[in-house]
Structure 1
């Protein structure tokens, strides 16, 4: 049995805490150094696992089935969370014996078709937040030995430092995002990976009152139908497996005032930091104040530049790219470059998708008719 280089895992996690784009690389290193088939990070505190969590390439199909077939809601390994929190590590044999595993649907119906059976979960704690580095092994590889589990338990405290750093940086970026939205006069509510309210800026708070308010980490309307529609839109965005960045806008009635348009958005720049509280946002558009042109609203909603917003508005209006470029007085190559940037920021991949995304938003901004 070769000697593990756990310091290499610790270093990889420290680098990923600073640069979230490196989380998958860190997991690949963790899997390789512990002789595992694959690795992923799962939340233990909070509402359980949701799509968008990082995993190694070898776990792609496993993760797809895990969420698609709702095994995430039936993950019996979560029964070992208390053991992991107390000891730093947990494995299958801390939860049940081999005979029970042979009869359990999680092992036989979910893991067995992939040739998987064994795991070790390393606890990573930061305050009240608990995460698990889940190392997956095949049936043929066998369980982790007692000595290996002792080594992994020692790694728990060191990885927890990386978790604390990642979360601190995430809080800082969220504060910066709120300030940026406030500066451009855009009301925004930041949401965590479960669609729960994390923070709101002052522009958003000025829209709150009896008609629209935050209750138990949810933005709710006095209209139960509007609240239900918003919950559905957020749930769709949270559990969507593609990279689309926007859910259907929802109108929140305000009695004698014109309604607020709530636009749920996936914050792609934050989503890569899986330990951050900030994954989504609700951009709130006050239809009482519609002096800002459509282009300015698109800038605020998607983080577009002024030039990108002008191009996106024309594409959404049905103009061909060449015609839009001519109208805006820009070169074809410039328009292609700007369109690629618009695709990236809106989570779309072709002009038809962009039109389908923007048309209802622009229509609402230009009309008092509700989106249904």
Structure 2
């Protein structure tokens, strides 16, 4: 018999992600499991997860996350049991499980020998994986699988509800930026654009979307920086904003893209927003240049002082003399400034910070 309280909590979790751990705990009791997990997975890896029981350290291991992502059981679950839960013994032979590094290197050292799970494809293109683990009490039998399957359709519907809520929230966030004149887009962990305002779309061709809806940038260096920033945000490894410069075009100023990681309840298992990308045009400001540089490129006060002096016509030697430090120290600070602004030469840096057009690089 279905428990309506569990059903209600499943749908509530779609709108309030912290409840997923409670849902996992309640389903654990139904199937006599010792731990429960819920995560999304795509080509970029495991994006978000919720756990119950002594299994959180599994997701703290990069090697474990990669083994989970590549698990043959995920693919088999989609083809052999596309509409239900299945035990690991239903999807793999005992010899295959013994050779599975996820089991030998991670699950069994944690005391888990048996698993049951399901895979649900959600409209973002991600796969939602819910699984339960057990110690040495034997595999999950058909009665345990049946009890879990009683709730599977509600879990799948909750995924659709949360997906729609997430897209609506992404659109609202992007349009809110537009009301104050800021180009902005909400990006998922695979680099796909969930929502972008009109101002952001008008930045083409420097900002582009490919056939799969992934965000890319016109220059190779900037695109590599964007990819690294989004990958870090998707993995939860980005601790702060990343700033990425883009060269100016004729009659168009240089730009700086700020990749802001999405954190906490702002994200969840289904919604998949990994980062907010907002764009600032670079022009000689009316406000004090050093203070503006702090925000644009995440420069330290010393780095901003060096950059501002160079824009006003100074040299490494004059900055060193004015600040009472060695020329080697100033060159080290300048090197850091150029790394953060994506420039290779001092002339490029001055052109960028003065709002002039950067020369296009070949390759």
TM-score by length of 1: 0.70
Of 11, 22, 32, the residue aligned with 1:14 is: 11
- Residue of structure 2 in register with 1:259 after alignment: 254
Matched, 1:174 2:170: yes
Structure 1: which 5+ residue stretches go unaligned? 302-312, 319-355
Matched, 1:274 2:269: yes
- Residue of structure 1 in register with 2:20 after alignment: 23
- Quote the RMSD (CA, aligned, Å): 3.6
Structure 2: which 5+ residue stretches go unaligned? 303-335, 342-348, 359-363
Once residues 197 and 28 of structure 1 are traced to their aligned partners in structure 2, the CA distance between those partners, rounded to angstroms, is: 34
Once residues 2 and 286 of structure 2 are traced to their aligned partners in structure 1, the CA distance between those partners, rounded to angstroms, is: 60
- Residue of structure 1 in register with 2:101 after alignment: 105
Matched, 1:199 2:195: yes
Task: Please tell me whether the aligned partners of residues 174 and 184 of structure 2 are also in contact (alpha carbons under 8 angstroms).
Answer: yes
Matched, 1:226 2:226: no
Task: Please tell me whether the aligned partners of residues 31 and 145 of structure 2 are also in contact (alpha carbons under 8 angstroms).
Answer: no
Instruction: Give the C-alpha shift of residue 37 in structure 1.
Output: 1.8
TM-score by length of 2: 0.72
Count of residue pairs the alignment pairs up: 307
Of 141, 152, 155, the residue aligned with 1:156 is: 152
Residue deviations 1:163-216 (CA, integer Å, cap 9, x gap) = 22222221221121112111111111211122322221112112222x332224
Task: Please tell me whether the aligned partners of residues 171 and 277 of structure 1 are also in contact (alpha carbons under 8 angstroms).
Answer: no
Task: Please tell me whether the aligned partners of residues 237 and 246 of structure 1 are also in contact (alpha carbons under 8 angstroms).
Answer: no
Once residues 55 and 147 of structure 1 are traced to their aligned partners in structure 2, the CA distance between those partners, rounded to angstroms, is: 23
SS in 2 for 1:141: coil
Task: Please tell me whether the aligned partners of residues 241 and 258 of structure 2 are also in contact (alpha carbons under 8 angstroms).
Answer: yes
SS in 2 for 1:71: helix
Of 129, 133, 136, the residue aligned with 1:132 is: 129
Of 265, 281, 287, the residue aligned with 2:282 is: 287
Instruction: Give the C-alpha shift of residue 85 in structure 1.
Output: 5.1
Task: Please tell me whether the aligned partners of residues 39 and 48 of structure 2 are also in contact (alpha carbons under 8 angstroms).
Answer: no
Instruction: Give the C-alpha shift of residue 143 in structure 1.
Output: 1.4
